[in-house]
Amino acid sequence: MAANMPDDTTPDDLSDDFLDPDDDAGSPARALAYTVPDEAAGQRLDKALAAGLPDLSRSRVQALLDQGCVRGDGRTITDASLRVKPGQTFEVQVPGAEAAEPVAQDIPIDVVFEDADVLVIDKPAGLVVHPAAGNPDGTLVNALLAHCGDSLSGIGGVRRPGIVHRLDKDTSGLMVVAKNDRAHHGLSEQFSDRTLSRTYLALVWGVPNPTQGRIEGNIGRSSADRKKMAVVTGGGKHAATKYRVVKSFGMAASLVECVLETGRTHQIRVHLTHIGHPLVGDPLYGRGRSGRPGGKFASLLPEPVRGGLVGFPRQALHAAALTFRHPVNSEIVTFRSPIPADIHELIVTLETV
């Protein structure tokens, strides 16, 4: 991993969409309305609301009922077992989440480069970037606060001090962190205008045809599964991805370099799935139309090679290179990270087939 080296990659992004500097407050309060359809007649209120308001789980609905946040027929309703009638309308007030201030925790991080303004780290798979629901601590932010001390606090917001972009929990590779407001502003501008360059390597099922090209399609929330993103025909945000097959392993799998012209949530994962080549190990998008990991491509592999790929515990995606203009001295710097051991072992195994 070296700095000040020429780089021939072009700007890219991935599921770690650029963080808006204003996107750091707790989530805002929401007012939701639900009218009972004919087919839901007689259902329990908590079940009907959870089905009709897919952003809320049934347990979350029950908690909101207990808190007096649901109204219907002109009164506050707290009874989750109430049987609903067709045409009834319920109003649900979802309180806004307050941003919690993270604490410093002594968590080891792989520092690739550091000066007074920026920090480049090589994030391992499994490390969450910033605190959120389900991960209140043990994150990269907690580690950074311990590493940098009080100087980092508040830069870029309370919950995400110094963070200007993110990687999914199970995506490994390079990230740049701002250590002061000037650096945060300069890096944010580069992410916003796509002049910062990142290169990702993905191990995917099958071999894209053609072996290099451009995938374009708006990305938005999947109507079938609210936990997933998808290429959508209406709405969503414009997204475009360039890709190149670096190496193929028969017709079963290939190593693909991805370059994104935009940065949308789960963009690499969604776009490669859209063209029929999901990432090996991807828990959200990796099952294909057959419902089985790898689908028809897995059947092309002998055991135990097939088992190694099917059972891979994370999406095989790695942020391999990072180039940006230093936000204070304007020097162009480049950093590189080798493919991590777990993905490398898969590649070595595939080469034996």
* Residues acting as catalytic residues: 168
114 by Cβ neighbours in 10 Å (0-12 / 13-18 / 19+) ranks as middle
Alpha-carbon gap, residue 203 to 201, rounded angstroms = 7
- DSSP for 21-43 reads TTTTSPPPPEEEEEE--GGGTT-
The per-type count for the chain, helices as H runs and strands as E runs, is 8, 15
Task: Give the C-alpha distances (Å, rounded to integers) separating 45 from 37, 73, 88.
Answer: 12, 13, 11
Residue length of the chain: 353
Q: Write b or e for each residue in 158-179: b if 16 or more Cβ atoms lie within 10 A of its Cβ, otherwise e.
A: bbbbbbbbbbbbbbbbbbbbbb
Strands 70-72 and 75-76, by their bridges, are antiparallel
Q: Is residue 13 classed as helix, strand or coil in its secondary structure?
A: coil
* H-assigned helices in the chain: 45-52, 58-66, 140-148, 181-192, 267-274, 295-298, 305-310, 341-351
Taking CB atoms within 8 Å and a gap of at least 24, the contacts of 132-135 are 133/97, 135/169
194 by Cβ neighbours in 10 Å (0-12 / 13-18 / 19+) ranks as middle
| Amino acid letter, residue 214 | R
